[in-house]
């Protein structure tokens, strides 16, 4: 069972996650950390496999809080089922490490949210995307150049064919013609297909999904006005009094459609139109003042919380300190924007670009999880593994073979998918528990996070799992 097949509002291409961003070091179980191997430098090395994380939110959140933990080398291995998701994560990582002298903190945060969750963006954001697309084409066609310019990223594991296809995606992003991706029409078409006869009463449907589904599961800060505006237009974040009228080409994906019995390649929007991008950064925050209510209603919108959280992440990346914005009542005393509190390091644009020392992000070939255990370098490698709800069907018994001793397993749940009924959500949890048991994992202690389940690799011997897996592979019918 996968969440993607349970409701057509989910779509076939995931562009944002369905759980809040979190620091993976904070979620990693203590026993998993105790089994970390040392690198050649004698520093503990944390290897993390992200299956379907789609938007780099966990990578960025974890990187921004490395200053809070003992020194480690962190390797992220990113596995997706479509190249557009890899391209978007390359874009977000590149944006995150832009030097302060080139792009301020506020501008960087606003551009990130626009590209992550808007169907339409400002002309300035579109120009930035075109500029970066030129650079990305050089990245995928010249890995030596890419390593010199963006050493945090490793593209060497991708197949030549995948790199060629990524080049095609970036060329499409670079195309300035707005007619190349008519997202307004595509969004409305998806909405009409999704709602059917309910299209004319979509406001009522939207209010029901928000209050009876998302609010019930903890996303109460999402307001009805902003949620309906996103449902109706696909535009979630409008931080400026400006025109948001340029199609966001990063939300386009290709698929084969049948026309007169023949497969025809087509490019369109096949992403989420039911939940929205507010879940990733807009429903939780470390700043309790942003979650205050007045007469039972939130005083801050999901957009405002998202902007705060993304700004905090980029602040942490640049200055290795907790982000504490100046109070509005002391604007004159804090004339230099985003100075932070006295406990924070003062902003200094001479510090250079955000540091990524000790962090490496590896892009893996598409849907290669079933083959990883055949390569020696991946066997018993991963100390922490994350599965999105859209790719949990890749969770097979051979996962045990690439898991380090006492590895932590995190599985995203489907609580924020409005299309699912309560019994379907419960069925998903039951199926996940069954799948992880077959893979040699056991439930870990309860967590306050309701958006995912936590497991740990059991004590079953690797050789025993390997023999069982080999037997299953031998008995599987050949297609």
Q: Measuring CA to CA, how many Å separate 464 from each of 372, 439, 443, 461, 469?
A: 18, 12, 20, 5, 9
Pairwise CA distance, residues 226 & 193, whole Å:
22
pLDDT of residue 324: 87
Rounded to the nearest integer, the mean pLDDT of the chain is 88
pLDDT 10s digits, 309-359: 999 999 999 999 989 887 654 343 433 444 443 344 334 433 445 666 799
Calculate the dihedral angle through the C-alpha atoms of 184, 187, 193, 194, rounding to the nearest 10 degrees: -140
Tell me the C-alpha distance between 412 and 414, whole Å: 7
More confident residue, 235 or 12: 235
DSSP H helices, 200-288, are 202-209, 224-233, 278-281
Q: Give start and end residues of each alpha helix (H) in 7-104.
A: 24-27, 30-34, 57-64, 83-96
> What pLDDT, on the 0 to 100 scale, is given for residue 317?
94
Between CA 456 and CA 30 the distance in angstroms is 11
Give per-residue pLDDT as tens, 164-203: 999 999 999 999 998 899 999 999 999 999 999 999 999 9
Under the banding of pLDDT at 50, 70 and 90, the label for residue 459 is confident
Count how many residues are written for the chain.
479
DSSP letter for each residue of 57-74: HHHHHHHHTGGGS---EE
Q: What is the mean pLDDT of residues 232-240?
A: 96
Contacts of 191 (CB under 8 A, 6+ apart): 199, 202, 231, 232, 273
pLDDT of residue 349: 38
pLDDT digits (tens, 9 = 90+) for 41-50: 899 999 999 9
For residue 1, the model assigns a pLDDT of 41
* Nearest-angstrom CA–CA distance, 39 and 37: 7
For residue 34, which of 283, 320, 406 has the smallest C-alpha distance? 406
pLDDT score at 260: 75
């Amino acid at each position: 069972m996968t969440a993607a097949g349970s409701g057509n509002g989910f779509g076939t291409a995931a562009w944002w996650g369905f759980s809040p961003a979190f620091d993976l070091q904070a979620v990693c179980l203590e026993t998993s950390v105790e089994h970390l191997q040392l690198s050649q430098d004698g520093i503990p090395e944390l290897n993390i496999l992200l299956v379907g994380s789609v938007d780099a939110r966990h990578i960025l959140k974890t990187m921004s809080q490395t200053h809070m933990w003992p020194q480690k080398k962190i390797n992220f291995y990113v596995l997706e089922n479509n190249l557009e998701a890899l391209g978007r994560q390359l874009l977000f990582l590149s944006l995150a490490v832009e030097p302060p002298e080139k792009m301020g903190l506020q501008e960087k945060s606003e551009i990130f949210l626009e590209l992550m969750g808007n169907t339409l963006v400002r002309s300035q954001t579109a120009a930035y995307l075109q500029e970066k697309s030129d650079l990305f084409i050089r990245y995928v066609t010249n890995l030596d150049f890419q390593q010199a310019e963006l050493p945090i990223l490793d593209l060497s594991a991708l197949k030549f064919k995948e790199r060629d296809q990524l080049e095609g995606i970036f060329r499409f992003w670079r195309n300035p013609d707005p007619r190349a991706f008519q997202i307004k029409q595509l969004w409305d078409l998806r909405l009409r297909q999704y709602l059917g006869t309910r299209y004319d009463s979509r406001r009522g449907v939207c209010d029901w999904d928000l209050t009876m589904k998302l609010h019930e599961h903890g996303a109460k800060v999402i307001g009805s006005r902003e949620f309906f505006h996103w449902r109706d237009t696909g535009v979630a974040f409008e931080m400026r009094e400006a025109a948001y009228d340029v199609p966001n080409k990063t939300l386009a994906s290709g698929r084969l459609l049948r026309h007169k019995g023949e497969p025809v390649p087509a490019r369109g929007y096949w992403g989420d139109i039911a939940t929205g991008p507010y879940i990733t950064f807009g429903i939780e925050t470390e700043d309790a003042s942003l979650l205050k209510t007045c007469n039972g209603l939130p005083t801050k919108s999901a957009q405002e919380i998202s902007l705060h959280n993304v700004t905090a992440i980029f602040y942490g990346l640049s200055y290795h300190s907790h982000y504490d914005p100046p109070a509005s009542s002391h604007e004159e005393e804090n004339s230099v924007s985003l100075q932070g509190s006295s406990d924070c390091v003062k902003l200094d644009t001479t510090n250079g670009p955000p540091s990524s020392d000790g962090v490496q992000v590896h892009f893996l070939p598409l849907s290669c999880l079933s083959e990883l255990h055949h390569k020696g370098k991946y066997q018993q490698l991963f100390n922490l593994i994350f599965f999105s709800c859209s790719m949990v069907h890749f969770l097979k018994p051979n996962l045990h073979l690439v898991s380090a001793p006492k590895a932590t397993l995190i599985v995203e749940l489907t609580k924020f998918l409005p299309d699912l009924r309560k019994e379907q959500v419960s069925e998903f949890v039951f199926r996940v528990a069954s799948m992880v048991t077959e893979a040699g994992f056991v439930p870990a202690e309860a967590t306050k996070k309701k958006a995912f389940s936590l497991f740990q690799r059991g004590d079953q011997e690797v050789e025993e799992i390997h023999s069982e897996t080999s037997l299953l592979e031998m008995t599987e019918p050949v297609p």
